Amino acid sequence: MTVDAHDDVLLGRPSDHEVNEQLLSTTWRPMTRGWKILFAICSAFTVLLFALITLTFMRGIGMWGVNIPNAWGFAIINFVWWIGIGHAGTFISAIMLVLEQNWRTSINRFTEGMTLFAVMQAGLFPLLHLGRPWFAYWLFPYPSVMGTWPQVRSALPWDAAAVSTYFLVSLMFWYLGLLPDLAGLRDRAPTRRRRIIYGICALGWRGSTQQWRHHKVAYMLLAGIATPLVVSVHSIVSLDFSITALPGYHSTIFPPFFVAGAIFSGFALVLTLIIPARRWFKLENVITLRHFDLMAKMCMVMSWIAIYSYVAEIFLAWYSGDKFEIYQQIMYRPFGFYAWTFWTMIACNCLVPQLFWSRRMRRNLKVLWIASLLINLGMWLERFEIVVVSLSRDFLPSSWHTYMPTWVDLGILGGTFGFFGLLFLLFLRFVPFVPVAEIKQMRGELEREEAAA
């Protein structure tokens, strides 16, 4: 295969030493002022987050805007949104590994980190939103002195199981991929203290052929386990809604719709994060325009699945002839109290990605970055449509009531951004966020291909 120099997944053929210098040194090179400022801001928001969580625990979730009928609000929206974000990571690292997409190599560690931290944000909310969070463990099956068990017909215990499994598998997958580079750091880090710490984390990785063989097998196995999880987690999350009878919740297309949406928003956030990171850490040679081109295409595909789902929802509402569905989908969402959220969502999720029909746009990082932000907003609003707008207009007009978030709601949402950012900055600081070993491997493969050519 001939490779166009400007459209490669790896520019130039850096030597091992060069690669190490470029990618490992990020962990001991002194951090820039920009990093420190960002770190300070994120820490502040993290403090805010935990302050508001404490407040909520002490006073009760009445501190939020939720009410009857809108018994779910920001907490669930944020949960679904963050868990969705998580999906791109596993999708890129696991599924694309299985599909042998070599362009994943340079970005997979990055997206896996994002996955972990997003799932951590998401994981907060199922606990937070409970009226009595101190009894959250009742959702897990264990032999209790009450002689009671969770109810398997409800989606929530499965939620708890799925999310925690997903987190654990992602963590192991991420860490397994990290091992060789930790060993690399152990061997190259400047100070003894670092070497010892990295050494412990490296769990005695020596890079022997035997270890590499086991590593490959384990990595592939975990990828195999992670792949169905990508589908299952968000399918289960979607059941939180689709098993109900509520107009706007009650829908059979939710599982695929949610998974697609999740990957959609996931890729969008990867773009949001990787574009500045690439700039700051001068990674133009390992994260090339080709990567962005491909990710933009992914976004567009997912956007079309979303468009299809929106259309399907509205069509089915009309086709069912159910007066409640028709009111919710055709009258209230586009023209009701929350109409602006609906149209913003449509603009962000359906119109913006159409830019990516053009190759120029796909490779214009400014456009790409702004687009990715808009898509994230759009996907958040999509969850708002589902969670809140459906609830605020259900069967009996007597119980209709609108929902307004309180400052606590907004604070917690902002706080999760801060917390996420904080974790991500630490990640950038302390581990190589481009898999060094795999880059070297890929370089070898590329060189062999070229030699063959």
Partner 1 sequence: MTTPTQPIGLDALSRRQFFKLAGIGAAAAGIAGCSSRPAREILPYAARPPELTPGVATYYATSLVQDGHATGVIVETHEGRPTKIEGNPDHPASLGATRAIEQAAVLALYDPQRTRAITDRGTPAGWAAIERVLADARAEHGRGTHVLLEPTSSLVAGELLARIRATLPAARVTFWAPFAARASLAGHRRVFGRPLEGRLALHEADVIVALDADLAGDHPFALAHARHLADRRRVVDGTSRMNRLYAIETSYSPTGILADHRFRVRPSEIELVARELLAELAAAGKAPPELAAARASGPRARWIAAIARDLIGAGGRTAIVAGERQPAEVHALVAGLNAALATTCVTYAPSAVIEAGEASHELGPLATALARGEVTTLLVVGGNPSYTAPADQGLAIDRAERSLYLGAYANETAAACHYVVPGLHDLEQWDVVRAADGTISPQQPMIEPLFDGRSACELLAAWLGDKPVTARERVEAAWPRLVPSASFHQALARGAVRDSAMPAVQVGVAWSALTPNPAAPAPAAYELELRSHPYLYDGRHANNPWLLELPDPITKLTWDNAAQVSPRTAAHLGIHSGDIVALTVAGRALEVPTIVVPGQADATFTLYCGFGRTGTEGVARGVGVSAFRLWTTELGFAAPVEVAVTDRHRTLAITQGHWELEGRDQLPSATLAELGHDPRVRSELAHQRGPQPTLLGKFPHTGVQWAMSIDLTTCSGCSACVMACAAENNTPVVGRQQVLNSREMHWLRLDRYVTGPDEDAPIAVEPMACQHCENAPCEYVCPVEATTHSDDGLNEMTYNRCVGTRFCSNNCPYKVRRFNWFDFKQHSGLQVLARNPDVTVRDRGVMEKCTYCVQRIRRAEIDAREAGRPFQGHDVRTACQQVCPTQAIAFGSLNDATTAVTEHRTRPHDYAVLHDQGTVPRTHYLARIRNRNPELG
Partner 2 sequence: MQRGISRTMGALFPPWTNTAFRLGLIGLAIGGTALLVTPMVYARSPYATGAEQPLLQPIAFDHRHHVKDDGIDCLYCHENAQRGPYAGVPDTTRCMGCHAQIWNDSVTIAPLRASYESGKPIHWQRVHSLPDFVYFDHSVHVTRGIGCVTCHGKVDEMAAVYQVKPLSMQWCVDCHRNPAPHLRPLDQITSTTWQPTPEVLTELAAKFEPRSLTRCSTCHR
Considering the rule CB under 8 A, would residue 134 count as an interface residue with partner 2? no
CB of 131 to partner 2, least distance (A): 15
Distance, CA of 330 to CA of 318 (rounded, Å): 8
Considering the rule CB under 8 A, would residue 228 count as an interface residue with partner 1? no
Distance, CA of 283 to CA of 304 (rounded, Å): 31
Q: Which does 97 bind (CB under 5 to 8 A by kind): partner 2, partner 1, none?
A: none
CB of 440 to partner 2, least distance (A): 17
* The one segment of 165-173, 185-193, 290-298, 328-336 that binds partner 2 by CB under 8 A: 185-193
Residue whose CB is less far from partner 1, 316 or 361:
316
Number of residues in contact with partner 2 under rule CB under 8 A: 17
Q: Which does 69 bind (CB under 5 to 8 A by kind): partner 2, partner 1, none?
A: partner 1
Residue whose CB is less far from partner 1, 156 or 314:
156
Name residues whose C-beta falls within 8 Å of residue 255's C-beta, 6 or more positions apart in sequence.
234, 235, 238, 239, 242
Residues 372, 302: contact at Cβ < 8 Å?
A: no
Considering the rule CB under 8 A, would residue 131 count as an interface residue with partner 1? yes
Q: Which does 203 bind (CB under 5 to 8 A by kind): partner 2, partner 1, none?
A: partner 2
Considering the rule CB under 8 A, would residue 194 count as an interface residue with partner 2? no
Distance, CA of 197 to CA of 94 (rounded, Å): 28
Interface with partner 2 (CB under 8 A), residue from 186, 250, 333, 393: 186
Written as one letter, the residue type at 231 is: V
Of the CA atoms within 13 Å of residue 179, those in its CB half-sphere come to: 18
Q: Which does 72 bind (CB under 5 to 8 A by kind): partner 1, partner 2, none?
A: partner 1
How many CB atoms sit inside 10 A of residue 444's CB?
11
Residues 313, 390: contact at Cβ < 8 Å?
A: no
Token pair recorded at residue 40: 């300070």
Quick one: DSSP state of residue 283?
A: -
For residue 356, the surrounding DSSP H or E stretch is none
Residues 133, 127: contact at Cβ < 8 Å?
A: yes
Residue whose CB is less far from partner 1, 138 or 369:
138
Q: Which does 71 bind (CB under 5 to 8 A by kind): partner 2, partner 1, none?
A: partner 1
Span 326-365, contacts to partner 1 by CB under 8 A: 327
Considering the rule CB under 8 A, would residue 181 count as an interface residue with partner 2? no
Q: Where are the alpha helices (DSSP H) in 60-104?
A: 74-90, 96-98
Considering the rule CB under 8 A, would residue 143 count as an interface residue with partner 2? yes
Considering the rule CB under 8 A, would residue 152 count as an interface residue with partner 2? no
Considering the rule CB under 8 A, would residue 69 count as an interface residue with partner 1? yes
Distance, CA of 337 to CA of 70 (rounded, Å): 14
Residues 246, 390: contact at Cβ < 8 Å?
A: yes
Question: ∠ at Cα 116 (227, 60), nearest 5°?
Answer: 120
Considering the rule CB under 8 A, would residue 213 count as an interface residue with partner 2? no
Question: ∠ at Cα 18 (14, 22), nearest 5°?
Answer: 110
Interface residues with partner 1 (CB under 8 A) are 59-62, 65-72, 129-133, 135-136, 138-139, 146, 148-151, 153-157, 160, 240, 243-246, 249, 323-324, 327, 391, 394-401
Interface residues with partner 2 (CB under 8 A) are 142-148, 186-187, 192, 195-196, 199, 203-204, 206, 208
